[in-house]
Structures are given as structure tokens and as C-alpha cells.
Amino acid sequence: MKRVVLLVIVTFLMVSMILPQTSIFGANEVQLRFLSLQVGVHPEAPWLEKTVNDFNALNKGKIKVIIDGVAGDQACWEKLRTDAAANTMPDLFTLKADRSEFDVLAQSDRVVDLNSYLKADAEFKKKLNDPGSLETYTYKGKLLGVPYAKAYVGIYYNKTLFAKAGINSFPVTWDEFFAASDKLSKMGVAPLALMTGENSWTSALMLAHLIGTSGPEGLKWLQTSPKDQKF
């Protein structure tokens, strides 16, 4: 059975607006298993719990979402892979913004195409307001997921050092960025400090932004996943 990829919590809110108008639910309450890593000490756990509780209260007697929590990115992903292999996929689930994980599931042909739901609710589609993400999570014309949040990555800079180096404003292009870095280097100042211990998260973000914004080819490369992962 195909299941809905819930890259966003609002996906099942959308389902609640569309499906109750049909006879699919009948007279009995439908229970949906939602596999999520946003549990325990995860910073999004309180938000998810409240959202699900609010949804269940709004749809009492019709639809009930039950959170199946698995703490940790890798543990949750392995649980999803195991469920897919056993054909016991959850009804709803989240994924990281990771093209490799998405492609594995897309190729399994066990995920619902959401295009018809968005066409049936133009107002909901307008609220997404993120055509780039919709394109990212489209596979062979099928929309298999929608984003539930955006992450904004900030950069801190030292205005005093910028002024001493003759840099009047923060660079807005990569050419300007590297030119500013060269000026700081000539002053004997390290132009950039990135996290390189543990998981090198900020370094990975910086490189991803550099590659993804370098042009169409860079973005395509960034969205290309390994082909050796299959169910």
C-alpha cells in the first residue's frame, strides 16, 4: 500500500480538509500512524505534540493521528527503511532535507502522489509558497512531499575588522565574499571560522550553499543522490 510522505506537518492537515468530503472514512474513526523523530528532547517535540493534539481534537471521531516516535535521525531512517521492506509503511512520516533519502523512497513506488490534493485546494497550495521545495520533492512528475519549515542560516561578522580592511558592506555575491576574504587575509586576520569538530555542520552548510547557488549545474549536482540505496 502506498503511504503519504509527510515532510511537513501540514500535509496531514491538508488531508483532513480534503478526504472527509468523500466516503473513504465511513462511520469509523481512521487512525494514522505518524513516524517522527521529533520526540523526547528534540526541540520540535513540543510543537509536534501540540499540533497533533489540536488536529485530533478538531477531527475527533473522524481521524486520529498517533505519533510513532523514534529518537535520532539515523534510527528513524532505519525504522522507515525496515517498514518499507516489510510493506508496513507508516501513513505519515518526516524526512530530513536529504535528497538521497527521498530518492530511495521515491523509487520504491510506495509513496502517495500529492498533486491531486494540492489541485483540490488552491488555498493550501498558495500557503506553501515555496515552488523550489515542491520541485525538489517531485519525482517523475509526482509530488511526494512538502516542506513543513524553512531553516535560515545566519553569518556573524566583525564590523570593526571589515572597516579596517576597507570592506564597506557585507558581500552579497560569492565573488564579493572571496574578495573580502582576501582583504582580511592580507591584514593577517582569519577571514572565516567554521565548525570543524564533531559533525562539521556549519562547514557542510557553507559548502552546500556555495555549490547550490553556483548555477543550475551546481544545484542539480547537490540534489543528486547515490544510486546504491534500494529497498
What is the pLDDT at residue 77?
87
Q: Are 63 and 33 in contact (CB under 8 A)?
A: no
Q: Are 111 and 5 in contact (CB under 8 A)?
A: yes
**Cα–Cα distances in angstroms (integers) from residue 199 to residues 39, 104, 205, in the given order:** 22, 24, 11
- How far is it, in rounded angstroms, from Cα 188 to Cα 78? 47
- How far is it, in rounded angstroms, from Cα 109 to Cα 112? 8
What is the pLDDT at residue 128?
80
Q: Are 45 and 84 in contact (CB under 8 A)?
A: no
Pick the CATH number of 10-143 from 3.50.7.10, 3.40.190.10, 3.20.20.100, 3.40.630.40: 3.40.190.10
Residue with cell 491538508: 14
**Rounded to two decimals, what is the model's pTM?**
0.66
Question: Residue ranges of the domains in the chain?
Answer: 10-143, 159-222
> DSSP letter string over the chain?
--B---SSTHHHHHHHHHGGGSSSSTTSPEEEEEEES--TT-TTHHHHHHHHHHHHHHTTTTEEEEEEE--SHHHHHHHHHHHHHTT---SEE---S-HHHHHHHHHHT-B---HHHHHH-HHHHHHH--HHHHHHTEETTEE----S----------HHHHHHTT--S---SHHHHHHHHHHHHHTT--------STT-HHHHHHHHHHHHTS-HHHHHHHT---S----
Residue with cell 486520529: 64
- How far is it, in rounded angstroms, from Cα 102 to Cα 96? 9
Could you report the average pLDDT of every consecutive run of 10 residues in the chain (231 residues)? 43 33 56 93 92 95 94 88 88 77 80 89 81 79 84 87 95 94 95 80 84 82 57 43
**Cα–Cα distances in angstroms (integers) from residue 191 to residues 176, 181, 182, in the given order:** 13, 5, 8
